Structure formats: structure tokens, C-alpha cells
Amino acid sequence: MINMRYFCSMFENQERTEIDQLGEFALIEHLTAKFQLENEGIIVPLGDDAAVFKSDENTVYSTDMLVEGIHFDLSYVPLKHLGYKAAVVNISDIAAMNARCRYLSLNIAISNRFSAEALEEFYAGFSLACERYKVTLIGGDTSASQSGMVISVSAIGYADEKRIARRNSAKENDLLIVSGDLGGAFMGLQVLEREKAVFVDNPEIQPDLEGNDYILERQLKPEARVDIVEMLEELGVVPTSMIDISDGLASECHHIAKQSEVGIAIYEEKIPIDPMTHSRARDFELDPTTCALNGGEDYELLFTVKQEDWDKIKGNPNMTAIGHITDKNSGLQLITQSGNSHPIEAQGWNHFSSEDEG
């Protein structure tokens, strides 16, 4: 699925149209031409001084920035995937409020090392996510950059007030649930970093990504769990708190614990880990549980529900109960198979330190 011709793909484009050749206005027109810009809520679409859209529900807003060299490495991230991911991470933030994303805006700064074709790839990925998640692009801005690529996306969504799920409202004895499986995106990144190191040492050697499709997709083409938001509504469950897993399970648990003023107990054997993540972690001599706890970018939803809602959720293959909420003084504890308790430290991703702690 992940095609290796993408390695350093942006420098291998056969056609190359300089951005100055097109001019800013033609460029924007060209890039946004393939988007569905109108929908029933839009009064004035992208292209004017500002967009106008109707909103008669509670408006949910979020914004995120992706910086080259900090959040992504273009030597192995295909621009199309990056465009897709830039949209998805914002759609995921809206989903994490138990809300639905409707609109996105996209700001982008690029240096002249990017051709119009490279940008087109990025926009193709972004537009694919817009179609897939039924989200409309309502605006953006374009600027030159002296060095790397900077992407900033803002998302607007809607939520029924009674269904909004915050980080600060988990209560003692609530169950802790996670969607999907964890640690895959992190193991995908390890494989890509390993192959990059091999490639840098000897560009003649073709990167070996065989047999890693699932974890590479988890890293390069994550999905936002809007399906979970819909399922919870159908099941008649309002989570008592919710967050999306961008920095790792441990870090997100710390956010919920701190803001809700509670403790959390997680059972190690319950943490869902895909067999491929597990075996690749072993190959890299990493502990699979640590990868699930501290590896980020899975974009799964982590939420709490009242015990009485468990019957509605149990048996659903998309959701796993991994622990429960305890009192504040108990802190964050990982309970191992043998029944021992270990405090969980939040590592997350510290972009400001020179060494990655993750």
C-alpha cells in the first residue's frame, strides 16, 4: 500500500512548474479547483474575502499546526499523505469533543523548493480527507517561507450541548474505554526512521518496508474516529469525558486525571495492541506496552463512561475497556498481569527538547 517511490518523492517529480510562474491567485484557484466548495450550510464559499456559513447549533472550534522537521519529515512522508493527515488530525480534535467536523481552513507556508506539482499532491490528499469525512474547505492563506513547510489547519464543527464531552468531567468508578488499537503509528514511525537511516547511508539500497503495511498506514494515513462518535450516539451513550490520542495513552490519561481531579487505573493486559505492532516492537527490542502508552499519533478516542452504560458498549469490537477512574490520591497506575501496580509517567512528545523522550 505504501509505495516506496515516495522516498524523497518531492525531488523526483518529473514535471516541475515553479510557483512564481503561476502566481499566487492562479495557484490557489488551481489547487482548490477539485474541492467541493458548496454545501447546504454555505452562503459564501471559499474565494471571497471571507466565507459565510449558517450555524444554528453549538459551534466547536479547534486549530493545529504542523511544522516540517518538528512534526513531519518529508524524506519519507509522501505529500499526499501529509495533506490527508493534516485534515484528519483536526477532524479528530473535533471528534474528541464528541462533535462533528463540518468545515476546515488551511494555511500553508512553503519555500521555493516546492513545485506547483508537489503542492498539488498535498492538496489532493487534503481533498481526499474532505470527501471521506464530508467536510468543506472554507478558506486559507498562502505564504512563502524561507526554510521549511508550515501547515496550519482550523476546524469548525457542531455538537448538541448535551453530548459535548470534555476532559474535566470523568468521575470516580467510570470505566475507561479506548477505540481501535494503540502503538501502531509509533512502530510505523520506527520502521520509517530505520529505513531512512539505511537510505541516507547508502541511497542504492531500496527501503525495506515489506510486511509493515498496517503500521505504516497508522503513521502515514491515520483516520479520525468519527465512527465512534456516531456509534456512541446510536447506543445512547454520552461519554463522561473524552480526548483523542495524539501524544500517547499515558499523556492523554494525565490530561483527563489532572483536569477531572481523579486517578486512573489501567490493566496492562487489556490495552489493545495489534499483533503487527507487537511483533515489530519485539524486533526493535521495545516493550509493546510502553509503545502503546507513550507512542503517539494513533488518533484513537479515549473516553470514560458511567458503569451503567457498560452493557450498551460491551461486545463492540471497536471499543475496549482498559481500566477505570479512581480517586485523585491513587494517581495513575498500570496494573500488570501479575497484579502489581506501577505509576504511569506521562512522556508525550516534547518538541522543545533536543532529545525525543518518546
Interacting positions 72-131 with ligand ADP (CB under 6 A) = 106, 108
Min separation Cβ 138 and Mg ion, Å? 13
Among 4, 22, 28, 273, binds ligand ADP (CB under 6 A): 28
Instruction: Note whether 141 binds ligand ADP by CB under 6 A.
Output: yes
Min separation Cβ 141 and Mg ion, Å? 4
Closer Cβ to ligand ADP, 139 or 323, answer by number: 139
Instruction: Note whether 43 binds ligand ADP by CB under 6 A.
Output: no
Contacted by 139, from Mg ion, ligand ADP, none: CB < 5 to 8 Å by type? ligand ADP
Q: Which stretch in 42-50, 53-61, 235-243, 345-353 sits in contact with ligand ADP by CB under 6 A?
A: 42-50
Closer Cβ to ligand ADP, 137 or 301, answer by number: 137
- Cβ-Cβ contacts under 8 Å for 175 (sequence gap 6 or more): 304, 305, 306, 307, 309, 310, 321, 323, 324, 325
Instruction: Note whether 23 binds ligand ADP by CB under 6 A.
Output: no
Instruction: Note whether 208 binds Mg ion by CB under 5 A.
Output: no
Q: Are 154 and 178 in contact (CB under 8 A)?
A: no
Helix or strand run (H / E) with residue 196: helix 184-201
- Cβ-Cβ contacts under 8 Å for 342 (sequence gap 6 or more): 333, 334, 336
Min separation Cβ 46 and ligand ADP, Å? 5
Closer Cβ to ligand ADP, 72 or 76, answer by number: 72
Q: Which stretch in 47-55, 136-144, 232-240, 271-279 sits in contact with Mg ion by CB under 5 A?
A: 136-144
* Alpha carbon distance 73, 16 (integer Å): 21
Instruction: Note whether 139 binds ligand ADP by CB under 6 A.
Output: yes
Among 78, 125, 140, 222, binds ligand ADP (CB under 6 A): 140
Instruction: Note whether 149 binds ligand ADP by CB under 6 A.
Output: no
Q: Which stretch in 38-46, 134-142, 173-181, 348-356 sits in contact with Mg ion by CB under 5 A?
A: 134-142
Instruction: Note whether 357 binds Mg ion by CB under 5 A.
Output: no
Contact letters for Mg ion, residues 262-291 (x by CB under 5 A): ------------------------------
* Alpha carbon distance 118, 123 (integer Å): 9
* Coil/strand/helix, residue 12: coil
Closest by alpha carbon to 298, among 88, 62, 73?
A: 88
Question: Grid coordinates representing 67?
Answer: 511544522
Q: How far, CA to CA in Å, does 204 sit from each of 35, 132, 207, 227?
A: 39, 37, 9, 43
Among 2, 10, 46, 156, binds ligand ADP (CB under 6 A): 46
Min separation Cβ 126 and ligand ADP, Å? 9
**Percent helix, percent strand, percent coil in the chain, to nearest 5:** 35, 25, 40
Strands of 58-67's sheet in order across: 58-67, 150-159, 100-110, 136-144
Instruction: Note whether 32 binds ligand ADP by CB under 6 A.
Output: yes
What's at 241, amino acid-wise?
Answer: S
Min separation Cβ 35 and ligand ADP, Å? 8
Q: Are 175 and 280 in contact (CB under 8 A)?
A: no
> 180: burial class by Cβ within 10 Å (0-12, 13-18, 19+)?
buried
| Residues at the site binding Mg ion, with contacts judged by CB under 5 A | 141
| Residues at the site binding ligand ADP, with contacts judged by CB under 6 A | 28, 32, 46-49, 106, 108, 139-142
